[in-house]
């Protein structure tokens, strides 16, 4: 199935550049992997996005101009509507040399990467019940590219604070991120996110708390940042920690870098950032028991 076919009646009409009517005149500024300014929202959309993410106007760093994101109207008739019982949102991504196109249920998006980073979100949702998830699904991709541009990396992982340091535990679906997060909560540890964590400033790696999370860690956008304590590939079993080979560490980290790891035009950049992270932290495999008792493994030597 070609790009957008499962979501759009006429995917070939996907706009090649920002075009259309904005929903309104409202603006929302957020800063996750860098400042972003969402323009063209109506009052309902602004309230819905603000309720989910907050408004970090006052925290926008002045070190760089924000990425402008235009929010545009799109007719509902242009989308294919289908029964979504038991269906989880998945995105169609189309990687091009200078941009990335996104098609999904109820929205399409365009992230222009060259000559400068800017984006457009088209949706038929005027700010109703589904708008926060539309906004978030689009914003997750944008954040992955903003992080990449600034030399950071977004990882599918559980982030847990232990002794003031962020421990990043990554792995494929079913590896145990949610289970470990639940155990951490039961043991009184603070969770950064049980789904996506952002590692920034790889000269001295730090983890920024971001609002992309499942059951644990859904907070508004803030400026909270913690030194990176360690990076671990997760597995369930008897409590144990062992060193990963450099090749396994590299490959598993790439596999856990959502969106950008599938982009053929930005692969070398993803690989370069991953290698930089590996030069600072050598990941271990952390095998943990559902019975708990794994917390000492984070500070032990493999």
Please state the closest distance from residue 260 (CB atom) to other proteins, in A: 9
Residues 242-271 close enough to bind other proteins by CB under 8 A: 245-248, 250-252, 254-255, 258, 261-264, 267, 271
Q: Is 197 in the site for other proteins (CB under 8 A)?
A: no
Smallest separation (angstroms) from other proteins to the CB of 269: 12
Q: How far apart are CA 221 and CA 54, in angstroms?
A: 6
Cβ-Cβ contacts under 8 Å for 144 (sequence gap 6 or more): 33, 154, 257, 258, 259, 260
Nearer Cβ to other proteins (13/248): 248
- Residues 59-78 close enough to bind other proteins by CB under 8 A: none
Which C-beta is closer to other proteins: that of 26 or that of 137? 137
> Phi and psi for 155 in degrees, rounded to 5?
-125, 135
Pick between residue 26 and residue 274 the one whose CB is nearest to other proteins. 274
Cα–Cα separations (whole angstroms), residue 155 to 83, 220, 254: 31, 19, 9
The residue among 75, 76, 73 whose CA lies nearest residue 42 is: 73
Let me know: does 228 contact 164? Beta carbons within 8 Å: no
CB of 93 to other proteins, least distance (A): 10
Q: How far is the CB of 195 from other proteins (least distance, A)?
A: 16
Q: Report d(CA 260, CA 44) in Å as an integer.
A: 31
- Closest approach of other proteins to the CB of residue 103, in Å: 16
Nearer of residues 125 and 263 to other proteins, judged by Cβ: 263
Nearest 5°: CA angle at 90, between 56 and 141?
35
Residues that bind other proteins (CB under 8 A): 245-248, 250-252, 254-255, 258, 261-264, 267, 271
């Amino acid at each position: 199935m070609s790009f957008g076919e499962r979501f759009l009646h006429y995917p070939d009409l996907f706009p090649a550049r920002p075009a259309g009517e904005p929903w309104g005149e409202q603006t929302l500024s957020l800063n996750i992997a860098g400042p972003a300014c969402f323009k063209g929202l109506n009052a309902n959309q602004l309230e819905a996005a603000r309720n989910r993410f907050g408004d970090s106007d006052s925290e926008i760093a002045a070190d760089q101009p924000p990425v402008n994101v235009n929010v545009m109207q799109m007719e509902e008739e242009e989308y294919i509507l289908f029964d979504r019982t038991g269906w989880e949102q998945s995105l169609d991504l189309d990687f091009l040399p200078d941009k990335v196109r996104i098609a999904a249920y109820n929205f399409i998006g365009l992230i222009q990467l060259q000559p400068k980073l800017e984006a457009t979100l088209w949706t038929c949702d005027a700010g109703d019940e589904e708008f926060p998830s539309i906004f978030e699904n689009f914003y997750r991709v944008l954040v992955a590219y903003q992080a990449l541009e600034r030399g950071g990396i977004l990882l599918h992982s559980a982030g847990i604070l232990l002794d003031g340091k962020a421990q990043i535990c990554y792995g494929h679906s079913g590896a145990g991120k949610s289970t470990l997060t639940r155990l951490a909560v039961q043991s009184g540890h603070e969770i950064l996110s049980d789904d996506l964590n952002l590692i920034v400033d790889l000269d001295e790696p730090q983890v920024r708390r971001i609002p992309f999370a499942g059951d644990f860690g859904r907070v508004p956008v803030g400026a909270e940042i913690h030194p990176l304590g360690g990076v671990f590939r997760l597995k369930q079993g008897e409590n144990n920690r062992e060193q990963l080979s450099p090749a396994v560490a590299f490959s598993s980290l790439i596999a856990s870098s959502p969106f950008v790891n599938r982009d053929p035009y930005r692969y070398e950049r993803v690989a370069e950032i991953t290698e930089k992270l590996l030069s600072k932290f050598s990941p271990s495999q952390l095998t943990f028991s559902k019975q708990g008792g794994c917390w000492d493994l984070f500070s032990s030597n493999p």
